[in-house]
Amino acid sequence: MEKKTCYITTPIYYASGEVHIGNSYSTIACDALARYKRLAGYDTVYLTGMDEHGQKIEEAAKKAGVEPQEFVDNIASKTSDLWKELKISNDGFIRTSYDYHVSAVQKMFEKLLAQDDIYLGSYEGNYCVACESFFTKTQLGEGETCPDCGAKTRIVKEESYFLRLKKYEKQLLDYIDAHPDFIMPLTRRNEVISFIKQGLEDLCVSRTSYKWGVQVPSNPKHVIYVWIDALANYITYLGYNNDETNFKKYWLDGDEVIHVVGKDILRFHAIYWPIMLMALGLPIKFKLYAHGWIMMSGGKMSKSKGNVVYPLTVKERYGLDPLRFYLCKEMPTTEDGLFTYERFIEQYNVYLANDLGNLVSRSIAMVNKYFGGSIEKVPNTDLNKDANNELERIISENVAKYHECMQSFQLQNAINAIFEIVGFANKYIDLTTPWALAKDENLKNELNDCLYHLLETLRIVTIMLQPFMVETTITIFDELGVDKDYQVFEKIAYGAKTSYKVIEKAIVLFKRLDLAEEYKKYGISE
Ligand code: ME8
C-alpha cells in the first residue's frame, strides 16, 4: 500500500533577525511533529527556510557594508548550521532569494494580475522621508511622528498593486465554517473569524521604495510585498510553477499539509494565504496550528532588555534533549510558555533526572543484579496482579492519548501522557517491592514478572519519546538492547518484545542539577 503523505512547514525565518530560544520553538516543535509522522508511517516532507527580502534586510546589508545577497547568504548558512546542531530533521531549506522561488512568485503575481485579482491603485499613508517607510496610524508616535527616528511624517501617495481580499471575504468565511479544524486551537479560529467579520480591506502587495525583493516583471519599479513572496514558499518549494511532481504529490493529491506558526503571524496564514490560494484556483489543503510565545519572566525576549537566551547556550550547558524537551513541554496549546533557568532546572530535575533517569538506572541495575542482565517474558503472576493490571491500563490509555495529542499538535499534553506512564512505573516499583521478592527464592517468577514489566514499560516510553528526545532515546534503546524492529509504533503494545539483554551498568542520562551551583557558575539572572 502507498504510504500516506504529510507535508509540514515552519514559518520561514526573517534573515534580519536571529534565532533565540523563543523563535526556535516553531522549528523544534515542527521537528517533533515531523519525526512523529515518520514514525507513524507517513511519507513526510518537513520544510523550513529563510525569508530574505524586504526593506529591513536591504538596510541591514547597507549598514554592514555588503550586498543584500551576501548578507542573507551569511545568515542563511548560520541558521541552517544551527538547525543541524539542534538535530532538526528538515528535508528542505528554502530561501526566498533562490531563483526557482523568485520565478515562480513572478508567474504567480502575473497570473493574479492578468485575472484582475491584483490591480494597480495607489496607497496613501504617513511616510517618513528619512527612513523611507510608511507607517500605519497606530504605529505613529505623538503628533504623527516616525516611530523609528522621531521626525514628522507626511501623507504620501504611492502607486501600488493591491490584492483583492474583500472579494474573497465570504468564500473564506464559508471555508472556515465548513472546516472546523482548519485553524487550531479554537481560540485562534475565533480570533480570525471575528477579524474577517469586521470587513477586509484589499491588501497593498507591492512597494516602490526599495529594490531588494521580487520584481513585478511587467512593471519592474515595483517589488512584491514580502509577505506575498514569503507565503508562496510553501508551494514554490514543492515545484509550483516549475516541475510540479512534488506539488501534485504532497499538495494537490497529498493527504496532510500542516503549517505551524506563532500567534503573531496568524492573520497572514489564516487570511492572506488561503485567499491567495483561492484566487489561484488551488485547494487550501493545509491545516494551521498557531502556537503561543515563549516568554521570559520579564516579558518578551529582547536585546534591549538583555534577556535573550540562545538555544546553543542551553544545549552546551545541559544537552540538546533537555532543551527540546523543555520547550515542547512548557508550551501549552492555547497560551504562552515560559523560559527561566530556574524553571528549566526544576523541570530537568523532576522529569528527566528523577522520573525518567532513575527509572532507567534502577530497572537496569535490578535486571543485572537479580537475573545477570537477561530477562524473558513470563505469564502475569497472581501476586503482582493488581499492580500489573494498573500499569498495563495506564500504558494503553496514555499511548492512545499520546497519539491523539500528537495528531492535533498538543505536544505538551502528549509529553504529559508519556510521563503519566513513567510516573506510574516508578510507583509500580514501590508497589511490587522487587528487593523484597528477591529475598525469597520461591518468588523468582514474581520478580521476573515485575522486572519484565519495567523493561517493557521503558521500551514503550522510549518509543513515544523519540520525536522529542533524539539522543537520549537512542541511548536508552542501546542500554535495553532494543533493536530497530522494536522501536516502532507497530510494536508499541505491552508485551510485544519478549526477551531482553540489558547493558551491564546503566549510563547516567541526566545528572541532577543544583540551582545555586548553576547560578554560581553562570550568574544566571532570568
Ligand atoms: O514571522 N516564542 O519570521 P520570524 C515562540 N518571516 N515563537 C516565537 C517567538 C517566541 N518568543 N518569537 C518569534 C516571520 N516566534 C516571517 C514568517 S512565513 C511565510 C514568514 C515565532 O523570524 C514566530 O511566531 O519573525 C514565527 O512562527 C517564527 O518564530 C519565525 O519568526
Other beta carbons less than 10 A from residue 27's beta carbon: 23
- Give residue 25 CA to ligand 1 midpoint distance, Å: 9
5-291, what's its fold? Answer: Rossmann fold (3.40.50)
- Give residue 15 CA to ligand 1 midpoint distance, Å: 11
Q: Which atom of ligand 1 is least distant from the CA of 268? A: 19
Residue 32 identity: A
Q: Where are the domains of the chain?
A: 5-291, 340-501
Q: How far apart are CA 19 and CA 380, in angstroms?
A: 51
The arithmetic mean of pLDDT across residues 229-245, rounded, is: 98
| Mean pLDDT over the full length of the chain | 96
Q: How far apart are CA 498 and CA 454, in angstroms?
A: 12
Q: Which of 264, 273, 294, 330 to mutate to test the pocket of ligand 1 (most atoms within 8 A of CB)?
A: 264
The arithmetic mean of pLDDT across residues 451-456, rounded, is: 98
- Give residue 262 CA to ligand 1 midpoint distance, Å: 6
Q: How many residues appear in the chain?
A: 526
Asked whether the beta carbons of 331 and 313 are under 8 A apart, the reply is no
- Give residue 248 CA to ligand 1 midpoint distance, Å: 28
| pLDDT of 60 strictly over 60 | yes
3-state helix, strand, coil in the chain (%, to 5): 50, 15, 35
pLDDT in tens, 166-195: 999 999 999 999 999 999 999 999 999 999
pTM of the model: 0.95
What are phi and psi for residue 393, nearest 5 degrees?
-65, -45
Q: Establish how many alpha carbons lie within 13 A of residue 501's alpha carbon, considering only the half-sphere containing its beta carbon.
A: 1
What CATH number does the domain located at 340-501 have? 1.10.730.10
265 lines ligand 1 (CB under 6 A): yes
Q: How far apart are CA 453 and CA 475, in angstroms?
A: 20
Give the pLDDT of residue 138. 83
| pLDDT of 491 strictly over 90 | yes
pLDDT in tens, 194-230: 999 999 999 999 999 899 999 999 999 999 999 999 9
Q: Which of 10, 12, 23, 293 to mutate to test the pocket of ligand 1 (most atoms within 8 A of CB)?
A: 23
Q: How far apart are CA 137 and CA 202, in angstroms?
A: 17
Give the pLDDT of residue 252. 98
Select from 88, 181, 238, 252 the least CA-distant residue to 409.
181
Contacts of 437 (CB under 8 A, 6+ apart): 443, 446, 447, 450
262 lines ligand 1 (CB under 6 A): yes
- Give residue 16 CA to ligand 1 midpoint distance, Å: 12
Give the pLDDT of residue 342. 94
Give the pLDDT of residue 21. 94
| pLDDT of 413 strictly over 80 | yes
Residue 39 identity: L
Query: Backbone dihedral region of 25: left (phi > 0), alpha (psi from -120 to 50 degrees) or beta?
Result: alpha
Give the pLDDT of residue 526. 53
Q: How far apart are CA 105 and CA 323, in angstroms?
A: 37
49 lines ligand 1 (CB under 6 A): no
Q: Which atom of ligand 1 is least distant from the CA of 292? A: 5
Which amino acid residue places its CA nearest to atom 9 of ligand 1? Answer: 23
226 lines ligand 1 (CB under 6 A): no
Per the DSSP assignment, residues forming a β-bridge with 337 are 294
301 lines ligand 1 (CB under 6 A): yes
| pLDDT of 131 strictly over 90 | no
SS3 488: coil
Per cent of the chain over pLDDT 90 is 91
Confidence of residue 72 (pLDDT cuts 50, 70, 90): very high
